[in-house]
Amino acid sequence: MRDKCGIMGIHSTNKDFDVSSLIYYGLYALQHRGQESAGIATFNHDSGLNYYCGMGLLTDVFKDDQIKNLVGNVGIGHVRYSTTGKSKLENSQPFVTDFDDGFISIAHNGDIVNSARLRKELIQDGYEFQSDTDSEVLCYLIKREHEKNDNIIEVLETISKDIVGSYSLTILINNDLYIIRDPRAIKPLVLGKKDNVYIAASETVALDVINAEYIRDLEPGEIVYFDGDEVKSHILEIAGKFPLARCMFEYVYFARPDSIIDGKTVYEVRKKIGEKLYEEYPIDDADVVMPVPDSSIPAAIGYSRASGIPYAEGLIKNRYVGRTFIMPTQEEREMAVKLKVNPLASELKDKKIVLIDDSIVRGTTSESLIDVLKASGAKEVHLMIGCPPVISPCYYGVAMATKKELIAANFSVEEIRQKLGAETLGYITIEDLIDAIGFDREELCLGCITEEYPTCIPDTATPESYYKF
């Protein structure tokens, strides 16, 4: 399961101040949101656009000299997981294209579900695409409209009426920075400040790491931009015409637990998820409660505190492992799992374990984990899941799977339990998840667990063709 992506935008009123190092460290804090590529674009009044991107982790892409060469008092940054568009250098961001009077650079978190139609229209208008991303589509939409209108706010108003999907954006147009959140607020975006420097980021942790003050989350459909020393705000005309649809997976899995999204502390939400799981599935004779690291740790703490069952870490995560091959044999699959999480036999032998995980998508990892736990001496494994059954694909930036690959879309809970080899399988209910997050049902996107999406989904946007791995 993959999420797209992490973004930064920084504006300093001091033209002699270089923002690239702040962007770098902010992106470092957002590395969990994207590990396939990274990029930074800055603007300097003397040298103009400075831009660099590459494949891999932030530390693989950027060295000291490259950061120093990215001079400029305004800039944007991006870390990427691929959803719409394959994992290759041409699809890395920020995406940059020329204007007649300069350039535009864009960093995008989300997915434009009608990008195929928009791309076709742009090609008919003579635009030549260098990538297969929807972010390049956004660039050319802005470019096309800008040829008719110099007012960027009006340009953004116009294209907002034509795009369907999720988007948090940082846009650099020459020396001007624009920060935008979609009208449904599907993807998070926050604003902060450090001295005379304003920062936009996907999560508050990016502000924390650079000692910036959190100001607020962007409103649904809001554009934040700068006029000299003045910070200005514009609300898109289409804002308020749609129900909100905050992605529930941000709270369940994607965001770091130390982030705050729309006023909700992710750690507290996940801890409450664990408490709800205990209320629904009390395994009072269990010996220990264990998380599947890392995103499930707060939920496991919540279950442990609610039940009084001791918390223990029986799976130790190797944080330096990339992707593993799909292994054909059971022995090889277990080996691949152990590369990522190694069992601590002393905590497992002869124990009845409540194992907490954030979600089940295909079920292959859960099955292998339970096999590994039992091979290490666990007597029983009672698996509790902090997300209701995922029965439908996501079209808004979560490349989880096609419907035929989603285990909960094809099997009952009891059938899944048997396939996984768990003594108990318990999913949090939709109602309990909503309560744990703390927003009304009408304010959340629950499409992957209800098949009720906040936007129309074009017939061409089937997961089989939409996500290109």
Query: What pLDDT digit, counting tens, does each position of 340-397 carry?
Result: 888 999 999 999 999 999 999 999 889 989 999 999 999 999 999 999 999 999 988 7
The three-class DSSP label of residue 54 is strand
What is the pLDDT, as a whole number, of residue 228?
A: 83
Residue 384 forms part of a structural domain: yes
Residue 40 has pLDDT above 90, yes or no: yes
Under a CB-based contact definition with an 8 Å cutoff, are residues 189 and 218 in contact? yes
- Residue 206 has a CB neighbour count (10 Å cut-off) of 29
Flag whether 263 is in a domain.
no
Specify whether 195 is located in the same domain as 150. Answer: yes
**pLDDT over threshold 50, residue 83:** no
Does residue 327 register a pLDDT over 60? no
CA atoms within 13 A on the CB side of 449: 21
Say yes or no: 99 and 218 in one domain: yes
425 located within any domain? yes
| 228, 115: one domain | yes
Q: Where are the beta strands (DSSP E) in 256-302?
A: 260-261, 264-265, 288-291
**Do residues 307 and 234 both lie within one domain?**
no
Rounded mean pLDDT of 134-144? 92
Higher pLDDT, residue 90 or 147? 147
Strongest mean pLDDT among 130-144, 284-298, 396-410? 284-298
Closest CA to 299 of 366, 386, 425, 383: 386
- Do 93 and 237 reside in the same domain of the chain? yes
Nearest-angstrom CA–CA distance, 19 and 405: 43
Tell me: do 241 and 277 sit in the same domain: no
In a domain, 158, yes or no: yes
Within a domain: residue 251? Answer: no
The secondary structure element, H or E, covering residue 178 is strand 176-181
* pLDDT value of position 397: 79
What share of the chain has pLDDT > 70, as a percent?
Answer: 90
- Say whether pLDDT at 319 is over 80: no
What is the rounded distance in angstroms from the CA atom of residue 291 to the CA atom of residue 463? Answer: 30
Q: What pLDDT is recorded for position 403?
A: 87
Indicate whether 240 and 276 sit together in one domain.
no
Residue 99 scores a pLDDT above 60 = yes
Distance CA 215, CA 406 (A): 39
Active-site residues: which are they?
Answer: 5
Residue 452 located in a structural domain: no
Residue 7, strand partner residues? 78
pLDDT at 31 over 70: yes
Co-location of 430 and 342 in the same domain: yes
Total number of domains in the chain: 2
74 is a domain residue? yes
> Which residue type is seen at 422?
A
Higher pLDDT, 427 or 461: 427
Q: How confident is the model at residue 134 (pLDDT cuts 50, 70, 90)?
A: confident
Same domain, 188 and 285: no
Interatomic CA distance for residues 376 and 348, integer angstroms: 7
pLDDT of residue 152: 95
Q: Mark whether 290 and 431 lie in a shared domain.
A: yes
Give the C-alpha separation, 218 to 239, whole Å.
12
Helix axes 266-280, 297-307, angle to 10 degrees: 50
Look at residue 329 and tell me whether its pLDDT is greater than 60: no
Question: Does residue 220 have a pLDDT over 90?
Answer: yes
Domain interval for residue 140:
2-245
Q: Measuring CA to CA, which residue among 381, 406, 380 is closest to residue 392?
A: 406
Residue 138 lies in a domain: yes
Whether 197 and 322 share a structural domain:
no
- What is the CATH number for 39? 3.60.20.10
Supply 391's token pair.
Answer: 């029965």
- DSSP 3-state helix, strand, coil percentages of the chain (rounded to 5)? 35, 25, 40
Q: Quick one: pLDDT band at residue 131, thresholds 50, 70, 90?
A: confident
Q: What is the CATH number of the domain that holds 306?
A: 3.40.50.2020
75 lies in the same domain as 168: yes
Nearest by Cα to 169 from 208, 142, 151: 142
Residue range 388-421, pLDDT digits in tens: 999 999 988 777 668 888 999 999 999 999 999 9
Q: Which residue has the higher pLDDT, 293 or 84?
A: 293
